[in-house]
Structure 1
Amino acid sequence: MAVRWYQVVVDAHDLPSLARFWCQVLDWRVVFEAEEEVIIAAAPDALPGICFVPVGERKTVKNRLHIDLTPDDQAAEVERLLALGASRVDVGQGGDATWVNLADPEGNEFCVLRPKKTLLD
């Protein structure tokens, strides 16, 4: 039996706004939009995608799953993401962490890792 990773599903309070934030972060686009879901991906037929589905309540606890981003320039990317609406968060990472913890506009945590070229150092 074959299986493929199709998408990650994210609970969202404001689907269109959160989907558009992540489109800007990843340079992706909305590939499907309806009242009950908004799907974003690199291209209409690209997998995996991210699907945003509605929930009535706001996020209240730390994520159990999160996205890691690997930019060419960590400091510049963190500043870009903050300008898009991300915020810094402390999830107990400590002062010696090589990554930066941020949250999207609805509080979902994600990490900005150090540049790819130094991951193997």
Structure 2
Amino acid sequence: MALTLGMITTDSADPVPLAAWWAKQFDAEVADPYGGEFLLVRGGTLPLALAFQKVDDPTPGKNRLHLDLGAPDVDAEVERLVAGGATIVGRRGEEGFSWVTLKDPAGNEFCIAAADEAAAEL
């Protein structure tokens, strides 16, 4: 068996603005083939598609799955994301490896670490 990862999907009560927000962060494009019910974000710096699907009752509480993103300048990227509508949850880790946890405008958590630190940890 050989599985491949096709996309990462996020449930949302209002997926249209959320897909647009994430597309902006990755300089990507939004495709809306299902009239706001299921949107795809592709291109830009994304290695695969992000999908956003409309659900009447998103799962409450902390999301179980989140994106771990890398950036060459974490502080500058966090500043850019916060200016665009993200909120900081906390700065974590220690001197050898640290990251920042944020929430997108819908409250979904994601993390950013230095691109070289994240790769070194793998």
Per-residue CA distance 1:14-73 (angstroms, 9 max, x = gap): 111000111111121113442320011117xx8621111112235531111110111110
Q: Report the alpha carbon displacement of residue 4 of structure 1 after superposing the two structures with TM.
A: 2.5
Give the distance between the partners of 1:22 and 1:63, measured in 2 at CA.
Answer: 16
Write the letter of the residue equivalent to 2:65: L
Partner of 1:107: 107
Q: What CA distance in whole angstroms lies between the structure 2 residues aligned with 1:65 and 1:37?
A: 19
Aligned-pair identity in percent equals 35
Higher relative contact order (CA 8 A, sep 6+): 1
After TM superposition, list the pairs within 5 Å mapping 1:1-121 onto structure 2: 1-35=1-35, 36-42=37-43, 48-58=48-58, 60-90=60-90, 94=92, 96=94, 98-113=98-113, 115-119=114-118, 120=120
- Residue 112 of structure 1 deviates from its aligned partner by 0.8
Task: Check conservation: 2:93, 2:99, Cα contact below 8 A.
Answer: no
What is the Cα-based RMSD across aligned positions, in Å? Answer: 2.5
- Give the secondary structure class of the aligned counterpart of 1:99: strand
Greater fraction of residues in strand: 2
Counterpart residue type for residue 115 of structure 2: K
Q: What is the distance in 2 between the residues matched to 1:111 and 1:94?
A: 10
Q: 1:2 offset after TM fit, Å?
A: 4.2
Task: Mark the runs of 5 or more structure 2 residues left unpaired by the alignment.
Answer: none
Kindly tell me: are residues 51 and 110 of structure 1, through their superposed partners in 2, closer, same or farther at Cα, counting changes over 3 Å?
Answer: same
Q: Which amino acid aligns with 2:39?
A: V
TM-score (norm 1): 0.81
Matched residue pairs, number?
116
Other structure's SS at 1:22 match: helix
